[in-house]
Chains A and B, each alone.
Chain A
Amino acid sequence: MNALVVLLRKELHATFTSPIGYVLAAVFLLVLGYTFSLTLFATKTANLIYIFHQMYVLSILLVPVLMMRSFAEERRADTLELLLTAPVREVWIVLAKFLAGLALVYGMYAGSLLYALILGLYGEPDWGPIYSGYLALMLHGALLVAIGLMTSSITENQVISAALSLGIALMLWFADSVSYLLPSPLDVVALNLSLIGHFRPMATGSVFVSDIGYYVTASAMALFLTTRWLHER
C-alpha cells in the first residue's frame, strides 16, 4: 500500500505539471459553457440532461488524449524499465496511474458543478437526476480512463494508444445499433455492451444496479488486462 501512495504522488505530480491536462480541461469547459448557455436560453428548463450528454461525448473524445501518455510515454522514455524492476507489484503501478487519471477527469467534471449551482440559484431543478447524472459521469469517466490505460500499456506510440482507445469507446457507444443486425442471442449481448444504453438511464434520473455493474465490471476488466499485459511483458 505504501508503494501505491509513492506511485500515486509521482503520477499526480506528472499529471498536474503537464500542460496537456490543463489545455484539454480548458477546451472541455469552454465547449460545455457554450452548450449550457445555449440550451438554457433555448429550453428555459432547469436540468442538466443536455450537459450530461455533452460531457459523455466530450469525455469519449478527450479522455483517450489525456490517457495516451500514461504507459506509452514511460515505454518510450524507458522509465517503465525502472518501475517494473522496482520491488512493487504491477497492480499498484496500474492503480496509481488510474487514480491520477481519475483525479484529472473528475477535476474537469467538477468545473461543471457551477452550472448546477446556477440552476439552484435561479431555478428549481429536480436534484435527483442531477445527482444520478454525476454518478453516471463518474462511472463513465472511470471506464474511459481504464480503457485509455489499457491501450497505452500495449504501445509506445501515443497516437496509436489514443486511436485504439477512441475506437473501443466508439464501438461500445454504438453497440446497441449493431444489435439490430444480429441474430438472437447475440443481439442481447451487443445491446448489453452498449455504453449509451447504460449511461442514458442514470443521466435522466433512473439508477439501476445493472448499469452500475456494467461500468464497474468493464472498468475492472480493463484494469485487469492492463496489469496482465504489464506482467506478461
Chain B
Amino acid sequence: MSHADRDSASTEAVPVVVAEALVKRYGPVVALQDLSLEIRRGEVFGLLGPNGSGKTTFIRMLAGYLAPTRGKLLVSGLDVVHDALQARRRLGYVPEAAPLYGHMQVREFLAFMGRLRGLSAADLKGAVERVVDRLSLGDVMRKPTRALSRGYRQRVAIAQALIHDPEIIVLDEPTNGLDPRQIIEVRELVRSLAGTHTVIMSSHILTEVGRVADRVAILLDGKLRGVRTLAETPDLEDWFLSLA
C-alpha cells in the first residue's frame, strides 16, 4: 500500500493493531496477561512501564519474533501467527539493542535489509537514498557499522525499519543510551512519522512517552492498567503513580 492510499484511508478511529486477550508465558512465568487493546492508524502510541512489565514481550509478538501463548494479535487485519509473512511486511521494527551486522558497511546493511523486505533492484536505490536523507546518514555510508557511535547505530537501525516504507513502525526503547541531542532527534523523527505512519514505541521513561505519544498505555507486571490520550492525562506521572 502506498502512502497516498494510506493517507486517504487514514482516519483516527481505524484500528491498525488489535490485541485480544493476549497471553504470553515463559514456562511458569506469565509475561503478559490477557492484554486487549487497539492501536489506531496514524497515531503515535506509547507503551509505558517499568523494566519487566511486558512491553518488549508485546512488541516482539507484534514484530513476529515471539508467538503468543494464547489470544489473538492482528496487524492491519492480518494474524501475526497465521499470516506471519504478510503481517511482517506491514511493519518496520527497531529492536531495543539496535542490532546491526558489524561486517557490513552502512550502505550494504541498508541494501541487504531492503532486499530482505522484498524491494526490487529498481526500488532499492531510491529507498536507500530516501532513508539516508531522512536520517542524515550520508557521512557514514561507507563506514562498517561496527565503527559507528551509539547515536549513528540507532539512526541506522531506524533507517532499516523505514526502508520498505511500512505502514507501522515499532520502536523498542528507541532513546536508550542516547545523549540529549540524539534523544531530541529521535523525538522529532517520531513526530514527523505520525499521521503517515502508525508509530508504536515503548519506554520506561515517562517524559519520553509524554513528549511524543498521542495515546499511552501503562503496563505493570504483564497487565494492561489503562490507555489514555495525552489530552486526557497531561500529568503522566500522577496517573502512573496512581496505578503503581
Cβ of A7: which chain B residues have Cβ within 8 Å of it? 116
Chain A residues in 8 Å Cβ range of B160: 82
Whether a CB of chain A sits under 8 angstroms from the CB of B215 is: no
Return the chain B residue nearest A77 by Cβ: B99
Q: Is A126 an interface residue (CB 8 A)?
A: no
Nearest Cβ on chain B to A29's Cβ, whole angstroms: 24
Which of B66, B93, B97, B116 is within 8 Å of A233, CB to CB? B66
B103 touches A3 (CB 8 A): no
Contact check, B95 vs A87: say whether CB atoms are below 8 A apart.
no
B95:A78 contact, CB within 8 angstroms: yes
Known: A10-B101, A17-B103. A82 touches B85 (CB 8 A): no
Given contacts A86-B116, A89-B85, contact A79 B100 (CB under 8 A): yes
What bracket does the count of chain B residues touching chain A fall in?
20 to 34
Write the nearest CB–CB distance from B134 to chain A, whole angstroms: 20
> CB distance A78 to B63 under 8 Å?
no
Q: Which residues of A contact B95 (CB under 8 A)?
A: 78, 81-82, 85
The reply on A30 being an interface residue by CB < 8 A is: no
Q: What CA separation (Å) do A83 and B88 show in the bound complex?
A: 11
Question: How many angstroms from the CA of A160 to the CA of B56 in the assembled complex?
Answer: 27
B85–A87 CB distance below 8 A: yes
Within 8 A of B (CB), among A1-59: 2-3, 6-7, 10, 13-14, 17-18
- Considering residues A2, A14, A86, which has the most beta carbons from chain B within 10 angstroms of its beta carbon? A86
Given contacts A78-B99, A83-B116, 18 further A-B contacts (CB under 8 A): A2-B118, A18-B103, A77-B99, A77-B102, A79-B99, A81-B60, A82-B95, A82-B99, A82-B113, A85-B64, A85-B65, A85-B93, A85-B95, A86-B116, A87-B89, A87-B116, A233-B65, A233-B67
Counting from the closest, the 8 A-B pairs by CB-CB distance are A78-B99, A87-B88, A85-B63, A78-B97, A6-B115, A87-B85, A79-B99, A87-B89
Contact surface of B with A, Cβ cutoff 8 Å: 60, 63-67, 85-86, 88-89, 91, 93, 95, 97, 99-104, 112-113, 115-118, 160
